[in-house]
Structure 1
Amino acid sequence: MNMHNTSSPVTSKPEELVPSRYALKIGDIDVMVVSDGVLPLPTAMLAHNVDPSARAAWLKEMFLPPDAFDWALNAVVVRSGSQTILVDAGLGFDPDLHLPRAGQLIKRLEAAGIDLSSVTDVVLTHMHMDHVGGLLVDGVKERLRKDLRIHVAAAEVKFWDAPDFSHVSMPPGFPDALRSAAKRFVKEYGSQLRQFDEEHEVAPGVVVRRTGGHTPGHSVVRVASGGDRLMFAGDAVFAVGFEHPEWYNGFEHDPEEAARVRVQLFKELVETKGLLVATHLPFPSVGRVAADGDAFRWVPVFWDY
């Protein structure tokens, strides 16, 4: 697979008009951001610890609807040496949640020419269902390699034995769905989990490190080669977090720690000038972080093709 040359001939009836993949090079490492679709959620999920008027003002400033809007869902494919690494696996399919525009990852990987059997490793930033669900879709496990390695922080696996939802602010139904997906995932793939404590090198130049915060085992993936850097920050970063890193996201199990992690990652990105990709930043979600007084500023890259 040449991840830098994935365009298809133009047909009279394209399946999708909106681009769903974006490829770039980090030194000698190929990286592709793939959209899993969008997840419509209440805007209160952006900041449940602030006055609703402050949240409404930010949404208005950003030309976003006041009540609900579409969160992007991004995953990443990394090719380093002989390894093809899928970072997070999208939402999959949960009919009880009525989210038909999410769960697109598997078909979009196929559209990008990425055969599931070519994936040697999966890295999970954490085990929320919009990061593991794609591997639970009927027929997917049978198409994966028998020796597939799934890398996840040990603290994450332990957390889902008895998850604590006392500090979250999620829509009804989500806690039960999250518990169910995590439990099913461990049952299906437990023998293939490769658990690490704090940090693990998955492939040359590809390192996953636990941050905690969003979940106890939440991790970020850093890709580095030839002086280039990219961080996939999972759910540590949301669009509102640059200007307001202290605002709590409704899906954070430890929001105070999540806010500290967010600031630390932003400071690192300001210093290194490395690229940032995150699950819920608007696709293709590739950009840099600049300091802006006591807060930060998101600087999207210019689209390159």
Structure 2
Amino acid sequence: MNQMIRNTQETSMNRDNASHAGQAGPNELVPSRYALKIGEIDVLVVSDGVLPLPTKMLAHNAEPAVRAAWLDDMFLPPDAFDWALNVVVVRSGGKTILVDAGLGSDPDLHLPKAGQTVKRLEAAGIDLGSVTDVVLTHMHMDHVGGLLVEGVKERLRPDLRIHVAAAEVKFWEAPDFSRVSMPPGFPDALRATAKRFRKEYQSRLRLFDEEHEVAPGVVVRRSGGHTPGHSVVRLASGGDRLTFAGDLVFAVGFAHPEWHNGFEHDPEEAARARISLLRELAANRELLVATHMPFPSVGHVAVEGDAFRWVPVFWDY
């Protein structure tokens, strides 16, 4: 394997723009971007921030005592903690692809620590006007909201292509929230954000049914489960591979892949898709990145008895 996990300053993704990169200020005391190579494909994981959410949403079908024991084993607080929120920038075949767009402005849900994607892309020397394509894993507000921030649309290319599964767009015409377990306010905010997004970007949407190659070695594939059109992004180049799993995999999903996340619209199908993907990644040893895995969210999957184990990569400076 010729994987080269490198500090952002060293990657070709922003080497040419290094003189324009923003400097960390008093509010940026932790790393917020992490670069690696998948063969000839440049990848940059960018932190949009974190979402303070109730721990019950990690596994609303689990016994409270069992869920509490897992949280204690992971040194996590019992009631609420900060879920990571990550997006990815991919460069391949002359295209610059943004995979998901973060939360954007806080939709009155008290999520002040997220919505950092635009600022952090600028700090990495990535101009919004250089983005040729956007891939959406799904249309929850923490994946599309960054495109709705005031002034962002005007800075995007007029020929920008936004790739999303046709089933996802269809779902949000009349979304079903009967099987989710979300805090009050979230269903209404999700509906409103998806509706606004469709109105703002309808002409730029490029729909696919099951699978679409966005650029050489960059394939978006519908997985379903989390939402009907939820998709994952598979990267392959020079013998290296990486999957961006979106919301199909959460931190608890390795030890307890059968547990239902509160944001899943079809929890049983999400669990089936999660187990299938984790088995595949464990077998072929490819890298995994996911939206809500702790930043930088780069690692491998190992089999652990009847479940799985997360193996973070060693940071390479």
**Which TM-score tier does this pair reach, normalised by the shorter chain?**
over 0.9
Residues 124, 10 of structure 1: alpha-carbon distance in 2 compared, 3 angstrom cutoff = closer
- Determine if contact 1:72/1:282 at 8 Å carries over to the other structure: yes
Superposition pairs for residues 214-253 of structure 1, below 5 Å?
214-253=226-265
Please point out which of 2, 10, 26 is paired with 2:12. Answer: 2
Rounded to whole Å, the distance in 1 between the matches of 2:274 and 2:214 is 23
Map of 2:119 onto structure 1: 107
- Determine if contact 2:50/2:82 at 8 Å carries over to the other structure: yes
Map of 1:150 onto structure 2: 162
Map of 2:86 onto structure 1: 74
Correspondence 1:121 to 2:103: no
Rounded to whole Å, the distance in 1 between the matches of 2:135 and 2:13 is 19
Segments of 4+ moved more than 6 angstroms: 6-12
Map of 2:288 onto structure 1: 276
Q: CA RMSD in A?
A: 1.6
- Determine if contact 1:4/1:24 at 8 Å carries over to the other structure: no
Map of 1:193 onto structure 2: 205
Q: TM-score, structure 2 length as denominator?
A: 0.94
Correspondence 1:92 to 2:94: no
Rounded to whole Å, the distance in 1 between the matches of 2:301 and 2:237 is 20
Residues 138, 245 of structure 1: alpha-carbon distance in 2 compared, 3 angstrom cutoff = same
Map of 2:224 onto structure 1: 212
Gaps of 5+ in 2: 1-10
Moved more, 86-95 or 222-231: 86-95
- CA offsets, 1:243-267, max 9 Å, x none? 0000000000000000000000001
Map of 1:291 onto structure 2: 303
Map of 2:74 onto structure 1: 62
Map of 1:130 onto structure 2: 142
The size of the alignment, in residue pairs, is 305
Rounded to whole Å, the distance in 2 between the matches of 1:177 and 1:191 is 23
Rounded to whole Å, the distance in 1 between the matches of 2:124 and 2:23 is 16
Gaps of 5+ in 1: none
State the shift of 1:94 in Å: 2.6
Map of 2:6 onto structure 1: none
Rounded to whole Å, the distance in 1 between the matches of 2:103 and 2:265 is 19
- Secondary structure of 2:273's aligned partner: helix
- Secondary structure of 2:12's aligned partner: coil
Q: TM-score, structure 1 length as denominator?
A: 0.97
Rounded to whole Å, the distance in 2 between the matches of 1:13 and 1:4 is 19
Residues 117, 247 of structure 1: alpha-carbon distance in 2 compared, 3 angstrom cutoff = same
Q: Report the residue type matching 2:12 in the other structure.
A: N
Please point out which of 13, 22, 38 is paired with 2:50. Answer: 38
Map of 2:40 onto structure 1: 28
- Secondary structure of 1:39's aligned partner: strand
Residues 274, 4 of structure 1: alpha-carbon distance in 2 compared, 3 angstrom cutoff = farther
State the shift of 1:14 in Å: 5.3
- CA offsets, 1:36-78, max 9 Å, x none? 0000000000000011000000000000000000000000000
What is the percent sequence identity of the aligned residues? 81
Rounded to whole Å, the distance in 2 between the matches of 1:18 and 1:94 is 21
Rounded to whole Å, the distance in 1 between the matches of 2:277 and 2:24 is 44
- Determine if contact 2:14/2:126 at 8 Å carries over to the other structure: no
State the shift of 1:81 in Å: 1.7
- Determine if contact 1:27/1:227 at 8 Å carries over to the other structure: yes
Residues 58, 36 of structure 1: alpha-carbon distance in 2 compared, 3 angstrom cutoff = same
Rounded to whole Å, the distance in 2 between the matches of 1:12 and 1:225 is 32
- Determine if contact 1:235/1:280 at 8 Å carries over to the other structure: yes
Rounded to whole Å, the distance in 2 between the matches of 1:107 and 1:32 is 15
State the shift of 1:96 in Å: 1.0
- Secondary structure of 1:195's aligned partner: strand
